[in-house]
Homo-oligomer: A and B are copies of this chain.
Amino acid sequence: MKIGIPTSNQPRVVIVGGGFGGIEVAKNLKNSGYQVVMLDKHNYHSFQPLLYQVATSALEADSIAFPLRKIFKEYEDFYFRMAEVNDIIPEENLVISSVNEIAYDHLVIATGSQTNYMGNEGLTISSMPMKTIPEALNLRSLIFQNFEKALVISNERKRQGLMNFVIAGAGPTGVELAGALGELKSHILPKDYPELDLSMMQIYLIQSSDRVLPALSTASSEKAKRYLEKLGVNVVLNTRVLDYFGDYVQTNTGKDVVAKTLIWTAGVVGAPVKGIDAKSIVRGNRIAVDEFNRVKGHENIYAIGDVAAMISEEIPMGHPMVAPVAIQQGKNLAKNFKRVAQQKAMLPFNYLDKGAMATIGKNKAVVEIGKMKLGGAFAWYIWMFVHLMSLVGFRNRVVVFFNWTRNYFNSDRGMRLIIIPFKLSKEKRQRKKAFYDQQESTD
């Protein structure tokens, strides 16, 4: 027997997901005449744009996580539940969560996106995703586990595999991670492992199209590629990863790479909840919404951010799956809830594209704001300022700023720690075994 959410005489908005979009809705509904219930499987908000810095020892995980309860601690008629949503039943206005059933007047799906392995079982089992804090910590552990192993292994080919890092997908995450690995290679690892020949360490950034950062201008792509190459990253364009089983990366050009580590940043798809009308799930596993972020075919269900596809003639693929869209949609949706309470008509969502940016390394970034295209140190300062100010929590900002300042002057990365060693999960080990067994039987 489980306890439900206390009822109030205010209409209840249930928000699924405490990412950028979800928290924006809740913040903008503060003490607004709605009861707000937020569900998330974690008790914290993750600042995903800095995951790659956790993975490469520049920041501690706790600095890019913020307790959700703390964000909303002074809100009236607000309830948080750490719970997974197993199903929704639109006919009954009911969310079935792992802790209890919750009735809603309005439901906001802000569940974001998940790594897209394109249905490839080998990649799903053996590559490293980097969408969550535990995944970033896994990668951090694996990098240093690899080097500890490389020290004691006499098989040259296996040692090379431990010192090769392949990143598939040259969007911002892949580019930033490749750059950070390049800096580890130049400044940190030679001091930590004087016994190893660090020139052996190779970083490959594999991209299917003909340039990195395809969402930016070709000029910025060129600049980013130059920066990456300066940091020793092998940028491999017009190439796709075909398959991977943990030992070597197969590509469509036939140039395979022996590598114990493949980081998969080559794409994401929406992560909708169960119970949404299958007809509303469109390309990229996203939920089709109208200009008010209302899910097609539902009166009182909304989707925002990565999981939502607001398709129109001007935007046939929907908005890009980035934080600013989620934040702006969250704000607009909360405003519309308040307008409805005042019997006003809802306002359609208009995306204000504030630009895009990526950092490659110290004094190396590309920033595009409107028609302005910046590179080098100035772009890098802008990148840092924007990310610092976007972090939730004064403590996090100060600690991140201190770490960055220190890393800048010392070229150091303090968090070279293997706190929880990475190993394949039980589920993945079983899937790997099943996969090999099946191969045996069909050989």
Contact = CB atoms under 8 A, between A and B. Distances in A.
Given A60-B62, A402-B398, A191 B415 contact: no
A84 to B, nearest CB: 12
A51 interface: no
Interface stretch (A88-96, A178-186, A310-318, A417-425): A417-425
A162 to B, nearest CB: 13
Nearest to A418: B43
B151 A81 contact: yes
A148 B195 contact: no
A389 interface: no
Interface string A1-40: 1110010000000000000000000000000000000000
A67 B192 contact: yes
Tell me if A's interface is mostly helix, strand, loop or mixed.
mixed
A34 B38 CA distance: 61
A152 to B, nearest CB: 5
A154 B191 contact: no
A42 B82 CA distance: 32
How many copies of this chain? Answer: 2
A419 B137 contact: yes
Interface in A176-209: 191-193, 195
Contacts of A60: 60-63
A133 B417 CA distance: 11
Interface residues of A, number: 53
A148 B43 contact: yes
A398 to B, nearest CB: 6
Interface in A26-81: 42-44, 60-63, 65, 67, 69-70, 73, 79, 81
Given A43-B418, A192-B70, A420-B134, A154 B403 contact: no
Q: Which of A73, A412, A419 has the most CB of B within 10 A?
A: A419
Contact of A82 (B153, B396, B418): B418
15 contacts: A1-B154, A60-B62, A62-B62, A62-B417, A67-B192, A67-B417, A69-B191, A82-B148, A133-B419, A134-B420, A137-B419, A393-B414, A395-B403, A398-B402, A402-B402
Interface of A: 1-3, 6, 42-44, 60-63, 65, 67, 69-70, 73, 79, 81-82, 99-100, 133-134, 137, 144, 148, 151-155, 191-193, 195, 393-396, 398-399, 402-403, 406, 412, 414-420, 426
Kindly list the 4 A-B residue pairs having the minimum CB-CB distance in the complex, ordered from nearest: A60-B62, A67-B416, A69-B192, A1-B154
Given A70-B416, A73-B192, A394-B406, 19 more contacts: A3-B153, A3-B154, A43-B144, A43-B148, A43-B416, A43-B417, A44-B417, A60-B60, A60-B63, A61-B419, A62-B417, A67-B416, A70-B191, A82-B148, A100-B152, A133-B419, A134-B419, A137-B419, A395-B403
